Homo-oligomer: A and B are copies of this chain.
């Protein structure tokens, strides 16, 4: 019913945020590609299974959509659920209007 708890939980982890960064820079990567990039560019020694679990959390939050093709599974970012965060606590409070 309420997918927002999953959303907040998903972006609550630093590794998952870096994964989103990576998918923003290069969309449609496979699990192994993401593992390699995290290891090289960010010095993260996370195992393949750890990344896989992170991707599952991101997918459940609606932030990542997957596309199967043969033995490859491509991961695509979808940041649109994040909009609900700023909509929930409106920022226009002290800045009257330009």
- Chain A interface residues toward B at CB < 8 A: 5, 8-9, 11-12, 14, 17, 20-21, 24, 77-80, 82-83, 85-86, 88-91, 93
Contact = CB atoms under 8 A, between A and B. Distances in A.
Given A77-B89, A85-B85, 20 more contacts: A5-B14, A8-B11, A8-B12, A8-B17, A9-B12, A11-B12, A11-B85, A17-B88, A20-B89, A21-B88, A24-B90, A77-B93, A79-B91, A82-B85, A82-B86, A82-B91, A83-B86, A83-B91, A85-B86, A86-B86
Given A11-B8, A12-B9, A79 B83 contact: no
A82 B87 CA distance: 10
